[in-house]
């Protein structure tokens, strides 16, 4: 599900995934999202807190925040500043 939410991230895009607690499928997630930076927050961390943690880690000028379902990890897609 997470891979679908963060599709085709360009090379210059920083992808940060923050999870509340250690997910059971962590190895699979690491394989699927090789380009992503995985962060583990304490279990019980709220979605809003996960988003703030992710933002603090992001270095880009444009930050797109994508939340999973309650049981899903939170993801941040950090894009470079794009101009038309």
Partner 1 sequence: MPTSLRLSVVVPCRNAEASLADALRSVLASDIARQSYEVIVVDDGSTDACQAIAARHADTLIRLGAGRRGPAYARNRGAELARGDVIAFVDADVRVRPDTLSRMLALMAQQPTIDAVSAGYDDHPSVPGLASQYWNLLLHLRTQRAGVAPGQFMAACGAVRRGAFFAVGMFNEWHFRDRLEDVELGHRLAEMGHETVLVRGIQVAHLKRWTVGGIVSEMWGRSLELARCLTFERARSLASSEMVHTFITLGAFGVATAATVEPAPGWPVTVSVAVLMLLIADRALFGFFLRRRGLGFALAIVPLHVLTQLVGAAAVASGWILRHTIGDPMPDPTTQAYAEVGVDVWPPVPRRR
Site residues, partner 1 (CB under 8 A): 48, 51-52, 54-55, 60-66, 81-84
Shorter beta-carbon distance to partner 1: residue 38 or 55: 55
Label residue 65 exposed, middle or buried (CB < 10 Å: 0-12, 13-18, 19+): middle
Whole-angstrom distance, CA of residue 28 vs CA of residue 32: 6
CB of 3 to partner 1, least distance (A): 19
Shorter beta-carbon distance to partner 1: residue 28 or 62: 62
Label residue 17 exposed, middle or buried (CB < 10 Å: 0-12, 13-18, 19+): buried
Whether residue 18 contacts residue 34, with contact meaning beta carbons closer than 8 Å, is answered with no
Shorter beta-carbon distance to partner 1: residue 31 or 83: 83
CB of 25 to partner 1, least distance (A): 25
CB of 77 to partner 1, least distance (A): 9
């Amino acid at each position: 599900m997470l891979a679908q939410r963060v599709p085709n991230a360009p090379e210059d895009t920083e992808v940060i995934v923050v999870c509340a607690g250690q997910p059971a499928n962590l190895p699979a997630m690491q394989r699927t999202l090789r380009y992503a930076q995985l962060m583990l927050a304490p279990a019980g961390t709220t979605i809003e807190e996960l988003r703030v943690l992710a933002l603090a880690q992001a270095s880009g000028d444009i930050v797109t925040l994508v939340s999973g379902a309650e049981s899903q990890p939170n993801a941040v897609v950090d894009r470079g500043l794009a101009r038309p």
